[in-house]
Amino acid sequence: VFVSSGSYISYRGTAVDTGGLTAMVAADLAGLAGEHLPVVVDRSLPASELSPVLNALTVAGVTKVRLITLRARGAGRHAGRGGS
């Protein structure tokens, strides 16, 4: 599962809404066999946009997720490093 700002959600490379996410994950749940479902999240994503996704996964029957956060490109670099 990938989630970014603007409420963009994708599952297995397909853009979905929370209802579609619930249906697709529920159909695949047997294949998860109690493993953590990776959820890749844009680090700048507000919790208010992540909450509906986690709720959709709960409704689908997911009991374990692994949140993986991504930084925007160039984030964390020190401006002026190595300057005069």
Residue 1 has a pLDDT of 96
What pLDDT was estimated at residue 3? 95
68 Cα distance to chain centroid: 7
What is the value of pTM for the model shown?
A: 0.79
39 contact partners, CB below 8 Å, separation of at least 6: 1, 2, 3, 53, 54, 57, 65, 66, 67, 68
Distance (Å, whole) CA 6 – CA 45:
8
pLDDT at res. 82: 46
Residue 44 DSSP code: T
Pick out the chain residues at pLDDT < 50.
76-84
- pLDDT score at 26: 93
pLDDT at 56: 97
